[in-house]
Each structure stands twice: as structure tokens, then as C-alpha cells.
Structure 1
């Protein structure tokens, strides 16, 4: 991730933990030869009023308990262990220990577990806390912190609260990890492209090689920055008759294994190269050319044209993530350093001068 969400956006993150407590308490009672506590007395007093009339929660818990009671005693600890482990956020993001999926559970438990998970997830948009629903309160707190761009890609803007909702991205897919279905820590907002085109139902904890991997905690990081160090001018793809740099996307920061997960799931390097740098670099150069002419006029040699690059980077290219400035600034830093390279600098300066000379 490029940046993390404010932890106070999780202020209303109680539903999943409550459901886990109810499940474990009921299962422990069954193990002791008793019945799960009666409804609604099993609910904590501070949530009883808001949940007592939600018969869907009552019936789905009852179905899960019935199936659990039919399991052999030897199979029951695995069910409780899966519930506890899947709900252990953010530890699951941070460690390398296995996390059992729904497919490791007895067949009879899978359907009621999935039904309960789907129901709980839906309740995030149904249960009101203060002035808004649980998921809307999370998003409003994030938006109020001035976050306007998706931190998973830095490319796409978020819609304002009240506009049609972005999908909530289950980092741990609900189809594999149902017991984290309604934990807002597992549901960071993401742009539609990141969520629907790239993340989808990919298991963020297990790579294509079947090995356990770690991922970024969307609220604590780690976070990373992007550089283009090592990119090579005149060695990339040909666009519009020009040979572009061969882009080398570097993800810089601590714990590179988590950065690798981020890139593998969201295809960061591919998207930055294909969708932004190859697609926009020539238009960025054209903008620089027009800016240079407005500032300095046309009658300047290649060295003078290149000499203004640092001032353009400092004064024109915005900081941060608006309008993909973090990539644009890196591209111009590459252009500046390449223009001073003892081997290719003259060629780069002449290349840039040609854009200024023929700008309209």
C-alpha cells in the first residue's frame, strides 16, 4: 500500500467480534453437554436492543450450533480453532502461521458458516450506529481524514460519502475465511478497479505457489514509495513513433515480502507501466514543452531546455497522489538524471529539445 487508513475509522468495529464470541460461547456450551444460552439473553446488554429483533442472526447461529452438535467430539476443536484464527486480525496479516480456510472444516459446517458470514456482512449496511450505518461510518471517517485516492493503487479517486458506495474489499475472501466476514479491519475501502478487476476473491494469505505470505495491514502498514531508479531511456516500448524508457518500477520500504504480496495481488508494476507511464509519458513531455515556452520562449538550445527540469518538478508537478503526481514526478526525475548522464545525456537533451522546438 502507498499509505494507510486512520485507525479511528475502526471505531464501530464490533459486530464481527461479537459474533465470534457468540459462536464460541455456544459451542463451548454444547461441548459441556448443555444448550447454548437462550436468545436474546446470550446477547451483551449494550447490544441487545439493536440485535434482539434480528431473527436472521438468531436462526443462522442456531443452524450452525445444530450442525456443530452433530460433529464427533474429535472434529470440534478444529472448528473453534478456525474461528479464532480467522478472526485474529491484524495478527493474521503480520505473521506467517497457517490460517485454516472453510475448506478445512467438516463439510456439514461449511454451509451454515457461509450463510452466517453473508448475513453478518450485510448487516454492516443495515445496523445504524450514531448517524450512519456501520460501514458508512468507517468510510466517512476515512474521507474526513482527507484521503481521496485509493491507497492500493494511488490511481483512482474515491467518491464522496453519500454517493454510490465503492465495494468493500475483503482482504481475506469471505468465500475462504467466513469468520472475518464482518470485521472492518478486513474490509478496507478500495477503488472499483482494485477491488473488482484485480483483487476479486484472490487469497491474499496464500500465493500461487501455495505458500503462506504476509500482507499489509490497511490501518498500520507497512507502506511503500515508488521510484523509477534503474529505468533506461530509449530501451522501452515504442509509442507514437517514439521509443520510451524501459521502466523499472521499484517498491521501496521495509518488509519487502509484503510489498511483493501487494504487487502480486493488485498488479502494481504492470498497471503503472502499461496504464500510466507508457500511456501518459509523452503527454507529460508535451505539457513540459508548453510550460517551457511560456516561461522561456523558443530560442534556447537543448542544454537550456533540460536545465529547467528541476524547477518544473519542484514548482509544477504536485506532491502526493492527486493526478498521479507521484509517478509523474518520478518520471521527470528520471528524465533529469538521464539528461545529465555522461553516456546518453546529449541524446536525451536533444530528444527533449525536439518536443519544445516543435510544440504548438
Structure 2
């Protein structure tokens, strides 16, 4: 189904005038004071948004800390979720202004239309201030594919359909696989082995390795960045399942023991 003609094409003069008006209105948010306060509208809005985001992280990736409201800190990017260049009437609408990490905003989203997919078809758009919560797991990942290769990562998002375009715009799957999983999984395992040693858990037995992984997994939720906390937890859930498995358990256990020996040798 073709999209209806857009305002820039049908009424270019009106579109440009609207853009100019709301770009001016957006800039004034940094000057206008809230009634009865010395704070500007933007400063007050920053406080409200930061209080709403419990983790203090970018709500689109969960990987980047957003600057807190403080006169000595730089204000975070205030992104037009619906790009002002395409939806000028939303240019100064506070409901359309979302705190976003610099990487997500400047390197990925830019002026992309969050309402269109890669085929320029209309799709559902997640509300950054709504009740939708997306969870991610590593279900389907093959940890030991063989031939000395690293894990074959599979990311599973729930809900899937409604989050697809958001994941595409912010290139989340590649970023998580390359920047988090591929870079950190060995360090996570080394930390688990160190945890076992510090708590006198003998991982040379399968039972001991299972005990160490089960206990260390419970600490993963305390990671400061929520996306890393969830991925790390899911990673050790997979290892736990592998160790329990009657067929693949020995292979996973041997891998953990070999890593422990390497860790001891390097230490």
C-alpha cells in the first residue's frame, strides 16, 4: 500500500514555514522559565525525564549513562523521536522529546523516520514513555560450536514484532553482539572462575562448576548497565543448562576447567 503524499511534497512552503516556527519554539525551551521557578523549561524537563529513567541509562540501548541534571554537567541529547524535519508540528512537543545517549542519537538514529521500516512501510512505533518493556535473552545461542570458534550468538527480543524497527534504527543486534558479547564473554567467565576460587568452590568437578555458575549468575543483576546485566545473566543461564545436560555437560565442563588452567597459568 503506497504511502499518502507527504506535506513537504504537497505543500512545501507550509512545511518550511512550520519547520522554522517549531525550530524557533524548540530553541526557546532553553530560555523560557517555568512559572514560579528560575529553571528553564528544558532544565525542568531534564529533571523529570532523568527521574523517570530508573537506570540513568539511555532507554534505547541501556548501554550509555545519561548525564544527570547538574549545572557542572552537559545536558544530554534531547532527541526528536519523530524527526522535526519530517514532523515539524512535533518539533517543540515535550511528549516527542526524549533523552537519548549520544551514540544512539548521533551515530544511529539521526533524522531517520522511526515510523517507517527499511522498505518505507508504516510500522508500529514503541513509545519511549509508555509501558512497553523489551527483554532480551540469548535463547538459541550455541556456546561451543566447535572448530575452536567462539559462540554463535542469537539474540531473542520480547516482544519481537513491535521492537523490530527500533532495533533496526539503533542497530542494536550488531552492537550487542560485537561490543558486548564478543568482547566480554571471556572476561565474564574469568570473573566467574575467580569468584569460585575466592569462595573455595572446586570447579574441577561438574557439580562444583555448576555451583559456581549458579551462584555467580545471581550477582549479574547488580551490573550498573541494565542491558549488560540481562545479557550476562542469560549467558550464565546457558552455561548452567549446558552443564546440566547429560550429553553436552562434559564438554562444557572441560571448557571451563581448561579456561581455569589458562587463567592460573597467566596469573
TM-score (norm 2): 0.88
* Count of equivalent residues: 258
SS at match of 1:318: helix
Alignment of 1:63-74 (within 5 A): none
SS at match of 1:136: helix
Q: Which residue of 2 aligns with 1:114?
A: 19
Gap change, CA 1:246 and 1:167, over 3 Å in 2: same
Find the partner of 2:67 among 159, 175, 193: 159
Alignment of 1:1-360 (within 5 A): 101-129=6-34, 130-145=37-52, 146-162=54-70, 163-235=73-145, 243-253=149-159, 256-296=160-200, 300-314=204-218, 316-319=219-222, 322=225, 324-359=228-263, 360=267
Cα RMSD, aligned residues only: 2.4
In structure 2, distance between residues paired with 1:168 and 1:99? 29
2:55–2:225 Cα contact (<8 Å) kept? no
For residue 225 of structure 1, report the CA deviation from its aligned partner. 0.7
Gaps of 5+ in 1: 1-97
Q: Which residue of 2 aligns with 1:14?
A: none
Gap change, CA 1:127 and 1:299, over 3 Å in 2: closer
More displaced 10-residue stretch of structure 1: 114-123 or 138-147: 138-147
2:56–2:66 Cα contact (<8 Å) kept? yes
CA deviation string 1:167-201 (max 9, x = no partner) = 11111111111010011111110111111111111
CA deviation string 1:246-287 (max 9, x = no partner) = 11111113xx33211111111111111111000110111111
